[in-house]
Homo-oligomer: A and B are copies of this chain.
């Protein structure tokens, strides 16, 4: 006998929203986000700060404007995310020699090792959340989502 929660959900699962790609995207994202945030919490990170740290650790040396664009954040939000990471000694701001208006954000050694540890936590949480998909299905999903996430590619 299903719990009340399941019964309730079952009743609405025949609704039109269940075929709505945007709704499914929102719900799947909410589930992944809360699992991800829970997994990252032990490292003092959230999805946002993790993604900034991860990009800074990747060696591409992104400017804050590039981070804002890639993560779909307002530049002012990037300021406070980088402030936080910098105050914890995880990233540095370096003036871009080619454009002195711009700050290049680079992970410190501590930042790189935290990013690696956080990535492991995030990945194992993700595997738990997506356990009902086969490896093939997960790959297909990743490719399709990438097409939506980067339409101009």
Q: Which residues of A contact B (CB under 8 A)?
A: 5-6, 8-9, 11-33, 36, 47, 51, 54-55, 58, 60, 62-63, 65-67, 69-72, 119, 122, 126, 129-130, 132-133, 137-138, 140-142, 144-153
How many Å lie between the Cα of A101 and that of B11 in the bound state? 19
Offer 30 A-B interface pairs, CB within 8 angstroms, sorted by A: A8-B66, A9-B66, A11-B62, A11-B66, A12-B62, A12-B66, A15-B60, A16-B119, A20-B126, A21-B130, A21-B138, A21-B145, A22-B36, A22-B126, A24-B148, A25-B28, A25-B29, A26-B29, A26-B32, A28-B149, A30-B72, A31-B148, A32-B148, A132-B147, A133-B147, A137-B144, A137-B147, A140-B140, A141-B141, A141-B145
The 4 tightest CB contacts between A and B, nearest first, are A27-B149, A24-B145, A28-B148, A8-B66
Residue in contact with A146 in the complex, picked from B9, B18, B140, CB distance below 8 Å: B18
Q: How many chain copies?
A: 2
A21-B130, A22-B122, A25-B28 known; A8 vs B148 contact (CB < 8 Å)? no
Contacts of A8 in B (CB 8 A): 62-63, 65-66, 69-70
Contact B144 A133 (CB under 8 A): yes
For residue A39, which residue of chain B has the nearest CB?
Answer: B22
